[in-house]
Amino acid sequence: MQIIESSTIYDVIIVGSGAGGGMATKILADAGLKIAVVEAGPFFDPADPEHQTQLKWPYESPRRGANTVRPFGDFDSAYGGWDIEGEPYTNGDGSNFRWFRSRMLGGRTNHWGRISLRFGPKDFKRKDQDGLGDNWPIGYEDVKPYYDKVDKLIGVFGTNEGLPNDPDGFFLPPPKPRLHELFYIKGARKSNIPVIPSRMSMLTKRINNERGICFYCGQCSRACSVYADFSAGTCLIFPAQKSGGQIDLFVNAMVREVTTNNEGKATGVSYINKEDRKEYKLKGKIVVLAASACSSARILLNSKSEQHPNGLGNSSDIVGKYLHDSTGGSRSAFIPDLMNRQMYNEDGVGGMHVYTPWWLDNKKLDFARGYHIEVWGGMGMPGYGFGFNHNDFNKYFGLKVGGYGNPLRDEIKKYYGSTVGFGGRGESIPQKNNRCEIDPTTVDEFGIPVLKFNYQWTEHEIKQVGHMHDTFEELIHNMGGEVLGGKPSRAEKNGIYAPGEIIHEVGTTRMGDDPKTSVVNQHQQLHDVNNVFIVDAGPFVSQADKNPTWTILALSWRTSDYIIEQLKMQNI
């Protein structure tokens, strides 16, 4: 099979169109550079009626939104999931890493929870505090100007609270709490657990005349047709195109490797066009990888050459190592005081209006690092699963469970909106042995060797999730509720989610000053090759108890500025 080469030479080839790739596209295209964006999935625009799932009713899906096809249900906007036909991955003995991929323009930013938290000063220097893991080579002060710019460009609601490790920003005003959130606030106060307005990237107020304002359908996971929430396509790539950026968008194009020349410098990428299943090459002066932490590591490891026998940028043998995800634990409760609801529209924004940032001192605890608490509940739109075990709560009143006939209708209404749930999302300690590497025995349907994962949680993460459950039980008690389900046992690792299930995986191409122990420098530039950059979450030294997207965006902008400056100085 002949590889088809394009004669165009791009200034920058960007691999991936999610948060990191979207931001690099916007900044580099706005600077006048000629850009190729190479995305493994199809084009996606939530304003296109054919792509829309927003404001659809459950009965528009023959499975009523069940998750037999998409892991978060039919109406979730992510094309992909933890298992994709034709794109396998493997795990080593005793490992169960779950790898979520969203193959579409904008990647996982189309369906994510929009929780947009800055890392704080402590988050960049964790080793200084507990001796575990490593410090970042940069600190909050290096990233702050970019967080500020991201807030203003994209829009995030929240409040300035003056907290030491949850920095203030340029916030839009938050929405008022819903009823179950008032219960949560009240319950948390009894245990001195702080609650503040959540920080999420939906426009509760206009930020420009191009994007719409939130109309409170609560469906951000379906991607917003008026662009009132952040996704990389709608808020970065489309605006860059509209303002005249020279952007060639390659979709359904699965990058296989970065190509290099005799000097070992990158010359572009090769990719498989999924439509004709042929291999193509693109030429570029600079390659920016933004394919996601694991995909970018995979591309580097598969980019072997005489100059880079261990894979591109991998003279340190660190590529793929230090893979880590957020910890996760969850629990739900029945709150009798939330029974017999009056009906009104409380969809609100998609997700929580209030949350709890980490509030304790680990010096007094038997595990390292903290977690934040997310809360859900309310009279949501019915979907598949609504009404299952509809009157189980009868048992709390000594009433019979089960039955048939029209009394069921009254029970459904009585209990509607009386369930709340909590999710803890915490920081783990990066481990060198937790890793992805190339599995030489397995290939995907595009002929590209796949990743093999090895990942084990440590005692710190398992104990942290145990602490989450104790906290949730205390909160539920304070809210006058009944805890649903038993507390997961120590043998069940306290119910910690499998690594990868929280979809915050980072760290596979970590940054550092020492080329022997890190893959990229503080500008996210490969130590080994100066014209390759990584702007997804691969360069994270540690994933704080915050969602990674806002930091991906800020660092991608910072790297893009560095690329522009280095090009001006003719250093690349």
Partner 1 sequence: MDRRKSLKSIILGGVAGGLVLHGCKPENLADSDEAVSKAAEVFFGRTPEEKELIDELNAEQFFNEHELATLKVLCDLILPADEKYRSASDSGVVPFIEFMAKDYPNFQTPLRGGLMWIDHESNKNFSLEFKSATLLQQKQILDTIAYPDITIADNQRPLGVQFFSLVRNLTLTGFYTSKIGIEELGYKGNTPNVWDGVPEEVLKQHGVAYEEEWLAKCVDQSKRNEVAKWDDKGNLLT
Which of the residues 78 through 97 are near partner 1 (CB under 8 A)? Answer: 79, 83, 85
Which pair of structure tokens corresponds to residue 74? 């039919």
Selected from 99, 416, 557, 562, the binder of partner 1 by CB under 8 A is 416
Inter-residue contact 89 to 96 (CB < 8 Å):
no
Q: Which is nearer to partner 1, 405 or 440 (CB)?
A: 405
State yes or no: residue 235 binds partner 1 (CB under 8 A). no
Single residue of 9, 47, 132, 412 touching partner 1 by CB under 8 A: 412
Candidates 135-143, 205-213, 295-303, 547-555: pick the segment binding partner 1 (CB under 8 A): 205-213
Mark the segment that binds partner 1 (CB under 8 A) among 4-12, 172-180, 369-377, 528-536: 172-180
Residues of span 19-48 touching partner 1 by CB under 8 A: 42
Residue (406 or 441) nearer to partner 1, CB: 406
Strand bridging mode 482-484 / 266-273: unpaired
For residue 268, CA distances in Å to 8, 239, 282, 421, 523 come to 11, 25, 5, 47, 20
We find the least distance from the C-beta atom of residue 253 to partner 1, in angstroms, to be: 17
Determine, following the binding rule CB under 8 A, whether residue 404 of this chain makes contact with partner 1: yes
Q: Which is nearer to partner 1, 38 or 179 (CB)?
A: 179
| Total chain residues near partner 1 (CB under 8 A) | 99
Residue given tokens 């397995």 in the structure block: 442
For the segment 176-195, give every residue that binds partner 1 (CB under 8 A).
Answer: 176-179, 182-183, 185-186
Interaction of residue 209 with partner 1, rule CB under 8 A: yes
Taking CB under 8 A as the binding criterion, the range among 23-31, 216-224, 252-260, 284-292 that sits at the site for partner 1 is 216-224
Which region, judged by CB under 8 A, interacts with partner 1, from 173-181, 248-256, 493-501, 518-526? 173-181
Element housing 13 (H / E): strand 4-15
Instruction: Give the residue from 172, 18, 13, 152 showing the smallest Cα distance to 556.
Output: 18
34, 390, 452, 558: which one binds partner 1 (CB under 8 A):
390
The nearer residue to partner 1, 190 or 206, going by C-beta atoms, is 206
Confirm or reject binding of residue 408 to partner 1 (CB under 8 A): yes
Work out the burial of residue 76: count CB atoms within 10 Å of its CB; fewer than 13 is exposed, 13-18 middle, 19 or more buried.
buried
Please compute, for residue 420, the number of CA atoms within 13 A of its CA located in the half-sphere on the CB side.
29
What part of residues 319-348 is at the interface with partner 1 (CB under 8 A)?
337-338, 341-348
- Residue among 388 and 569 whose Cβ is closer to partner 1: 388
Closer residue to partner 1 in complex, CB, 151/427: 151
Residue closest to 219 by CA, chosen among 118, 75, 391, 90: 75
- Rounded to the nearest 5 percent, the helix, strand and coil shares of the chain are 25, 20, 55
Q: Compute the distance between CA of residue 256 and CA of residue 448 in angstroms, rounded to an integer.
A: 6
Nearer to partner 1, 386 or 446 (CB): 386
Binding test (CB under 8 A) with partner 1, winner from 31, 43, 52, 132: 52
Distance (Å, whole) CA 503 – CA 517: 25
Residue for token digits 């575990």? 132
405 binds partner 1 (CB under 8 A): yes
Task: State the residue for tokens 């920003």.
Answer: 169
Among 16, 18, 22, 65, binds partner 1 (CB under 8 A): 65
Which pair of structure tokens corresponds to residue 203?
């426009």
To partner 1, the closest distance from the beta carbon of 69 in angstroms equals 6
**8, 96, 129, 160: residue in contact with partner 1 (rule CB under 8 A):** 160
Residues 347-376, mask of contacts with partner 1 (x by CB under 8 A): xxx---------------------------
Q: How far is the CB of 160 from partner 1 (least distance, A)?
A: 6
Contact range with partner 1 by CB under 8 A, out of 307-315, 389-397, 432-440, 453-461: 389-397
Q: Do 562 and 537 meet the contact criterion of CB atoms below 8 Å apart?
A: no
141 near partner 1 (CB under 8 A)? no
CA dihedral over 375, 501, 100, 139, signed as positive or negative: positive
Q: Are 562 and 531 in contact (CB under 8 A)?
A: no
Are 171 and 159 within 8 A, CB to CB? Answer: yes
The smaller minimum CB distance to partner 1, of residues 382 and 488, is found at 382
Partner residues linked to 454 by β-bridges = 435
Q: What DSSP assignment string belongs to 438-488?
A: EEEEEE-TTS-EEEEEE----HHHHHHHHHHHHHHHHHHHHTT-EEESPPP
User: How many Å apart are CA 84 and CA 87, to the nearest integer?
Assistant: 5
* Minimum CB–partner distance for residue 51 and partner 1 (Å): 5
Residue 69 found at the interface with partner 1 (CB under 8 A) = yes
Contacts of 344 (CB under 8 A, 6+ apart): none
Contact with partner 1 (CB under 8 A) among 3, 8, 130, 152: 152
| Binding segment (CB under 8 A) for partner 1, from list 198-206, 232-240, 498-506, 508-516 | 198-206
Q: Which of 59, 128, 364, 569 binds partner 1 (CB under 8 A)?
A: 59
Alpha-carbon dihedral sign for residues 148, 150, 152, 155: negative
Q: Which is nearer to partner 1, 228 or 438 (CB)?
A: 228
